[in-house]
Structure 1
Amino acid sequence: MTAQPGFTPHVSTLGSGPRRVLALHCTLAFGGAWAGIARQLGDSVTLVAPDMPSHGKSADWDGVSDFSDTVYAASLGVMDAEPMDVIGHSFGAATALRIAVAHPERVRSLTMFEPVFFAVAQEDDPQSMVSHNQHAAPFFEAMEQGDSAVGARAFNRMWSGAGKWDSLPERARAAMVRAIHVVPGTHGFLFDDTEGLLRPGVLEAVRIPTAVMRGEHALPVIIATNDGLARRLGNAENLVIEGAGHMGPITHARAVADHIAAVMARG
């Protein structure tokens, strides 16, 4: 593991209930984005929500260490000694999966909303990856040209459906531009399965109560990824949130939280 030396994330604590939940945000967001979910889950839980490097109030990624390893190590570092429920969104969901595989004894239940662990789609449905790469071409082109602002705008359009870039608050745009350089640093883990999660029997051995969730309007690559994970994991439900897209934990917090509560009850 080549995590960033000395990196300690800023952590938002949402709620004050007895049941402790690790909440891992998506790329270009921050830990506080889980506030809506925390409100819906009510006073029985406390969400521990770290900011990834270059996100929120955390220090920047150094660009040299492995970004995925840094997020993984930082997430483990804020977990309690006792088992926690773990929820994640997008890249945060892929990190949650990695934690569940490596440390099942620390995870009471696992909820993943649209995990971007695309190695599954590459193996199960290569055509969905062709579609993804075409869809993502403007982002990749901008990053190759070193244009972070255009790259952040393209990435935001692809995943959030948030409308015109110029309509977003300047603070939100600046935060996305600051964070966008981390995305290429996730490629090995997400696309090439550098952690070996798809080796025979690895995911099948995960018996933690799990929900694999996506929006009704998910991209084909997400559908292939979720379906593949649900087939492989040993104790998983495959769920669809009506009317939602990739940002379902924010736009459809009530429906997502209801499913989180259900899988937590199984744990």
Structure 2
Amino acid sequence: MTVLPAVAQGLHVRRLGRGARQVLGFHCTMAHSGALRGLAQGLGPDVAVTAPDMPSHGRSPDWDGQGSVLDRMIEAGIALLREPMDLIGHSFGGVVALHLAVQRPDLVRSLVLFEPVFFAVAKQDRPEDTVEDARSMQPVHDALAAEDPETAARLFNRLWGAGGTAWSDLAETTRAAMTRGVAILADANAQITRDPHGLLRPGGLDDVAAPVLLLRGAHSPAITATANEGLARRLPDAVSLDVENTGHMAPLTHPARVADAIKRFWSRG
């Protein structure tokens, strides 16, 4: 693992692997760039993954509340897209990667999105799914409003985390990192439930020239299927697949399975 200079909008950036095939990766909320290590290893020795830490995550500075986290990450991605690269994004990181593919289609060789939480798609296609998501997330937002970030992190992790491990059984450093990361949730939620850059307007995704793979854990909430299928219909060259016996955190819990799906997709040429 090589640590790169913090050149992308002041964010910490790391490099996983030393291969010739250049990949730009974006982690999910309450994780960090190192969470992509297993996936990078599964992709093989020919791959090198460059991955920034989001604000308030990993070794990046705390979120300063200026602008939006989405725009900050898009700007960071543009700074790192210096040659044609494959993009991989998980959850909110998938939303970032999608926006990059729209803004710089000339530098995106392929696009892999694992459950991009762009729930503005569901708002258009199946609004009842967004009602259920809002209901399940309300306790998280209530905890944030009450300035109780640890409770918000615990509840969010219960909804979207790997599951199977009680909050009290997580390492203290892990709980602290998740509690720190939850600081971006309110802003991120505002970006994913609306469409600030107009990607869903008629023809808004037509410029994405790269082939797109939309992946989903077969046991994930229904809204993730609605988002993936809706994006697949709107993108010029996209396929949507489920990864069996996995959930939202499959890139961390089952990185070999996810990597195998990506390698099969890449082999299409």
Q: TM-score, normalised by structure 1?
A: 0.94
Q: Which residue of 2 aligns with 1:82?
A: 83
**One-letter amino acid of the counterpart of residue 264, structure 2:** A
Does the 8 A contact of 1:109 with 1:263 survive in 2? no
Whole-angstrom CA distance in 2 between matches of 1:227 and 1:165? 32
1:246 aligns with 2:248: yes
Q: Which residue of 2 aligns with 1:3?
A: none
Does the 8 A contact of 1:189 with 1:195 survive in 2? no
**One-letter amino acid of the counterpart of residue 239, structure 2:** E
Q: How many pairs does the alignment contain?
A: 261
Does the 8 A contact of 2:9 with 2:75 survive in 1? no
Whole-angstrom CA distance in 2 between matches of 1:146 and 1:118? 25
1:195 aligns with 2:197: yes
- 1:188 deviates by 3.4
Q: Which residue of 2 aligns with 1:225?
A: 227
Q: Which residue of 2 aligns with 1:120?
A: 121
Whole-angstrom CA distance in 1 between matches of 2:268 and 2:206? 18
Does the 8 A contact of 2:105 with 2:207 survive in 1? no
Whole-angstrom CA distance in 2 between matches of 1:196 and 1:159? 27
**One-letter amino acid of the counterpart of residue 50, structure 1:** P
1:43 aligns with 2:54: no
Q: Deviations over 1:201-225 (max 9, x none)?
A: 1124423111000000110111110
Q: Deviations over 1:21-64 (max 9, x none)?
A: 00100000110111111111111010001101110011111013
Q: Which residue of 2 aligns with 1:107?
A: 108
Give me the identity figure in percent.
45
Whole-angstrom CA distance in 2 between matches of 1:11 and 1:141? 32
Q: Which residue of 2 aligns with 1:143?
A: 144
What SS does the corresponding residue of 1:20 show, helix, strand or coil? strand
Q: Which residue of 1 aligns with 2:5?
A: none
**One-letter amino acid of the counterpart of residue 84, structure 1:** M
What SS does the corresponding residue of 1:110 show, helix, strand or coil? strand
Does the 8 A contact of 1:109 with 1:266 survive in 2? no
Does the 8 A contact of 2:31 with 2:58 survive in 1? yes
RMSD between aligned alpha carbons?
Answer: 1.3
Does the 8 A contact of 1:114 with 1:213 survive in 2? yes
Does the 8 A contact of 1:211 with 1:236 survive in 2? yes
Whole-angstrom CA distance in 1 between matches of 2:83 and 2:32? 24
**One-letter amino acid of the counterpart of residue 211, structure 2:** P
What 5-or-longer segments of structure 2 have no aligned partner?
1-7
Whole-angstrom CA distance in 2 between matches of 1:222 and 1:91? 12
Whole-angstrom CA distance in 2 between matches of 1:193 and 1:143? 23
Does the 8 A contact of 1:131 with 1:220 survive in 2? no
Q: TM-score, normalised by structure 2?
A: 0.94
Does the 8 A contact of 1:188 with 1:194 survive in 2? no
Whole-angstrom CA distance in 2 between matches of 1:34 and 1:150? 26
Q: Which residue of 1 aligns with 2:157?
A: 156
- 1:186 deviates by 1.5
